[in-house]
A and B are shown apart, each in its own frame.
Chain A
C-alpha cells in the first residue's frame, strides 16, 4: 500500500489536463468501451477514456507486438530486402498491475539473446500509465504474488471517489506530470479512502491457486502424465483464443506477402498459437504435438514451468483472460489446482 509520501493527489480535471497534454505529443491509447466491454483503443479526447476496473478482453501486447507486423520489405526484381522498424511515441493509459507485470516479462523476452528491434523501439517510445482494478471471478493475480505493481510503469493512478492518488515510476513519468499536471500532497482523508479501497480490493479475490507460486514449476514437472490433459484435451476446440488474449503469449509465424504487382512484397510476422493444430507440424506431415491434450499441456507448462528456468519467473500473471475467453470453459486456475491436489495426494 505504501507510504503516504509516495503519493500525490491529482484531481479529475488535472487528469484531463494530463491526457490533453499527452494527446498533443503522442498517440494515446487507453481503456474504452467497445461493444459493451472494456478494451484498449486509440483516443482523441480525455472523455473517451473509461478507466476500467475489470481486465480488457485483449491485453495491451498489441501496442508492442502487433498481431500483424512487417519485418522487411522486398523487391523481387532488384532482389533487395530492407528492414522495417516502425514505432511512434505513444502512451497507454489504464494498464492494470497484471498487464504491467506481463509487459515487464515481454521486455525481458524480446531483449534476451538476439534483441528484437521492432518490439524494443516501440517499448522505448511508450509511456505507461497504470490504473487500479477490482478483481472479477477470474482474476487470480494475488495468489501468484502479482496484485501490486511496484515497478514497470511510468505513472500509476489509484482512482478515488473523486480524483486520483498518483505514483511515479520513472523520470519519464515524472517529467510528463511536471509538464501537464498540477499535483499536491494528498489529504489524510484521501489517503484513508485509498487505504480502504486497497483493503476492499485485496479481500475481493475469489479465484486462487492452491499452492505457493514458487512450487508451481515443480508441480507441473510432476504432471506430464496427469489425466487432466486428456480431460481438457477432449473438450478444447483448438481455437487459439487463449493464446491471442494472453498478455505473455508471444509465439509468432513469419511469412511473405506479395503485392498484386508481383514485384514487391513484405515479410510479415503474425501472432501464432501453440494450441493451433499446425503449430509444431513439419514437412512430411509429422506433428510433434498431435493431440489437443499435448498442445494444452505445452501451453500450461509454458506459463508455469518451461520459461521459468530461463527467466526466473512464472509466465502466467494471473489475469484470467484465457479462462474468460475460452468457450468451453477451460479454466487455468481449476486446471492448476487439480494438478496441485494430484501432487499432494501422490
Chain B
C-alpha cells in the first residue's frame, strides 16, 4: 500500500558552501513530477536516521534541478551538510500553495528578506525577473547580521541588471562594508512607493514581521497589499500533525504564503 510518508530519492548534483552556516544543493529528483513547483513552496527533506525538515525551494520554477539552501542548525541540517555530488537525498512534496504570480502582475513589488528568508525569496525573484516585463518597479531589501552572512551576493549584479533595485543592509558592519548598517526597516522609508499599486512581500525570521509590516503600513500598504511567508514547526506537511497550526489554518497546506488580510484576527499569526 502507498503511504504519503514515502520519500522520493533525489541525487545531489552540486553541493557548495555559500557561507559559514549555509550550503546550497542542486538536486535531481528521481521522479520529475517533483520539479513542478511554485515559488514559496517547500519540500520535507530527509535522510534515513535523521528525520525530515521543511526546506524551501530556492530555484526558480521551470528549472531542471531543485535548489535547496540549508542552514546547519541541528541534527538533520548538519547531516545534510555532509552531502556531496552523487549522494542521495530524500524529498516529499512540494507542499504548500506558494505564490500566485498572476496576482502580482502589473504591480510594483517591494521584497523584504531577512536572514535565510532570502532562500525562498530567491525563487520568487527568479520567477519575477524571468517575466520582468509583466511587473512594475522592483525593489529588494535584504538584510543579514553581517556582510559575510549575505547569501547569493554574487547574483545581485545580475538581478540589478535585470531591472531590480537591490538594497542591502547588515546589523553589524565590518571595515570593508560600504553599504547600509541597520535592520531592514531602516531602508523602507527610502523606497519610493506608488501607494495604489504596490505589493510588499516579507520573508524573514519571526521577530522581523511586525516591524516590517508597520513600516510598509506607514508607506500606505494595507493588509491586502502585503504577503508574508510564515515559518512554523512542521512534522508531516499533510495538515495532520498539528505543529504548524494557526487557528484553523495549517501552514503546511494553506501557506506558508499568506496575504495579510487572510490572517486577520489571528492573534498568534505574526
Contacts and interface: CB of A to CB of B under 8 A. Distances in A.
Given A282-B232, A286-B205, A117 B3 contact: yes
A265 B48 contact: yes
A2 interface: no
A254 B239 contact: no
Interface residues of A, number: 51
A193 B250 CA distance: 49
The secondary-structure label for the interface of chain B is loop
B236 interface: yes
Contacts of A121: 1
Given A254-B236, A280-B232, A306-B248, A71 B5 contact: yes
Contacts of B3: 71-72, 83, 85, 117-118
A88 interface: no
B28 to A, nearest CB: 15
A251 B48 contact: no
A252 B232 contact: no
Interface in A108-152: 109-110, 112-118, 121
B3 to A, nearest CB: 4
A116 B235 contact: no
Given A113-B253, A283-B74, A224 B231 contact: no
A298 B232 CA distance: 15
B268 interface: yes
Contacts, number: 119
Contacts of B5: 71-72, 83, 254, 267
Contacts of B235: 252-254, 272
B243 A279 contact: yes
B231 A282 contact: yes
Interface stretch (A38-46, A74-82, A174-182): A74-82
A294 B268 contact: yes
B10 to A, nearest CB: 11
Nearest to B3: A83
B111 interface: no
Contacts of B176: none
B240 interface: yes
A300 interface: no
A10 B206 CA distance: 62
B238 A117 contact: no
Interface string A290-327: 00001000100110011101100000000000000000
Contact of A281 (B88, B233, B268): B233
Contact of A272 (B205, B239, B243, B248): B243
Contacts of A251: 241-243
A289 interface: yes
A89 interface: no
Interface string B40-59: 00000000111110000000
B73 A274 contact: no
A256 B1 contact: no
B12 to A, nearest CB: 12
Nearest to B234: A282
B49 A255 contact: no
Contact of B239 (A114, A298, A309): A114
Contact of A113 (B73, B74, B239, B247): B239
Given A72-B6, A267-B51, A283-B77, 11 more contacts: A72-B5, A83-B6, A85-B1, A112-B239, A221-B265, A250-B240, A254-B51, A254-B236, A282-B232, A288-B232, A305-B248
Interface of B: 1-7, 9, 48-52, 71, 73-74, 77, 88, 90, 205-207, 231-233, 235-236, 238-243, 245, 247-248, 253, 265, 267-268
Interface of A: 71-72, 74-76, 79, 81, 83, 85, 109-110, 112-118, 121, 221, 224, 250-256, 258, 265, 267, 272, 274, 279-284, 286, 288-289, 294, 298, 301-302, 305-307, 309-310
16 contacts: A71-B5, A76-B49, A79-B9, A112-B239, A116-B4, A116-B238, A116-B240, A251-B241, A251-B242, A252-B241, A254-B241, A255-B51, A265-B49, A280-B232, A282-B231, A294-B268
